[in-house]
Amino acid sequence: MVSPRTAVTARGTRVESDAAVLLDGLSVRLGRRPVLDGVTARFGGRAIGLLGPNGAGKTTLINTLLGFVRPTSGSARVFGHDVRRRPSAVRALCGYMPETDAIVPGLTGVRFVCLMGELAGLPARDALVRAHDVLHFVGLGEARYRNVETYSTGMRQLVKLAQALVAGPRLLILDEPTAGLDPRHRAEFLRLVRELLEVDHVTVLISSHLLRDVEEVCDQVLILRDGRVAAFRDVAAERRAAAGSYDLELRGPEDEFVRRLAAAGVSLERAPRGRWRLEEGGPHTIPLLLETAVACGVQVRRLERRRDSLEEIFLQAMGEAP
């Protein structure tokens, strides 16, 4: 069994900033069409989710980070390296798993991953050793001598992950990594991503249409809409902040219920979808709430710890919150 630390061995390119990605007023035009417009964000988390509807600018942002597209104005830095001035240094720090198959028919899995390592600058012998390591890590050890065109959809996603890891990246960019996977293979892929996050020097950027995937592994989320930042949320910090909060769904004379609780020092705030939000003030808060509900003839239809789902955050960013 190959450990995630063995599968990801950092290369020697100098890191000049703790922030994996720093965007400052980044704008990109393709022809006459603006695709990114003044995007500013600092990715300081370990796993960043990139979300947005089709045409929001996600792919263009990734291509800009990789140096395939030049910024029109503003700047983008990867671990302190400017993508416009030092594109080679940036690419040396990145591993990229594209959405498309991007495989080379006629090559075995190990030869394909080895070739990607050599193209990334590894000596041939080192690339071969690394290819075996990462293929074992992703679970393709027994299939590494098969031609890649014979691989199933799930295996192709795994071999794309392997080639993204082979050169030992600091920033791993995954574009729609679980697209087309069944639930079992999706869960297995996300497990591998979580294992990679156990390695101190690896940051993962995931672009996906599947909110659940991002919610499971990411601690920061950037949501784009029409090339602009619709929301940038530190979801890990929000989860910690919400640890003592509850969402309530009530039926009955709510005004009297809220007034009596306020008189007792317990305040409720309006929340989305007709609910109320309660900040727990101590061990007696919930019993007091339930006793007051009985006294006021109010039914407590739902009482659960608050946890804003990524779906709610996304809908709010799109202006579609209920």
Q: Which of 161, 121, 108 is nearest to 137 (CA)?
A: 161
Tokens 């302190």 belong to which residue?
80
Question: How does pLDDT run across 6-34, given as a tens digit for each residue?
Answer: 665 555 556 556 789 999 999 999 998 99
Tokens 């082979």 belong to which residue?
166
Domains 4-104+167-233 and 239-317 belong to one CATH topology = no
Question: How does pLDDT run across 280-291, given as a tens digit for each residue?
Answer: 767 788 899 999
Dihedral angle, C-alpha 32, 55, 189, 87, nearest 10 °: 20
31 three-class SS: coil
- State yes or no: pLDDT of 322 exceeds 60: no
The model carries a pTM of 0.80
Q: What is the mean predicted confidence (pLDDT) over 108-118?
A: 97
Query: What b/e string do you get for 186-206 counting C-beta neighbours within 10 Å, with b at 16 or more?
Result: bebbbebbeebbebeebbbbb
Q: Which CATH superfamily is domain 4-104+167-233 in?
A: P-loop containing nucleotide triphosphate hydrolases (3.40.50.300)
CATH of domain 239-317: 3.30.70.100
Report yes or no: 132 and 113 within 8 Å, Cβ to Cβ.
no
- Domain-wise residue ranges, the chain: 4-104+167-233, 239-317
Report yes or no: 179 and 102 within 8 Å, Cβ to Cβ.
no
Task: Label the pairing between strands 73-78 and 47-51.
Answer: unpaired
- Amino acid identity of residue 255, one-letter, is D
- Amino acid identity of residue 230, one-letter, is A
**Token pair for residue 135?**
């293929």
d(CA 208, CA 171): 17
- Amino acid identity of residue 39, one-letter, is V
Report yes or no: 17 and 90 within 8 Å, Cβ to Cβ.
no
Question: How does pLDDT run across 225-276, given as a tens digit for each residue?
Answer: 999 999 998 887 777 666 668 888 999 999 999 999 999 988 898 877 778 8
- State yes or no: pLDDT of 73 exceeds 70: yes
**Token pair for residue 260?**
């009596």
- State yes or no: pLDDT of 307 exceeds 70: no
d(CA 294, CA 299): 8
First CA to last CA distance, the chain: 47
For 100, other C-beta atoms within 10 Å of its C-beta total 9
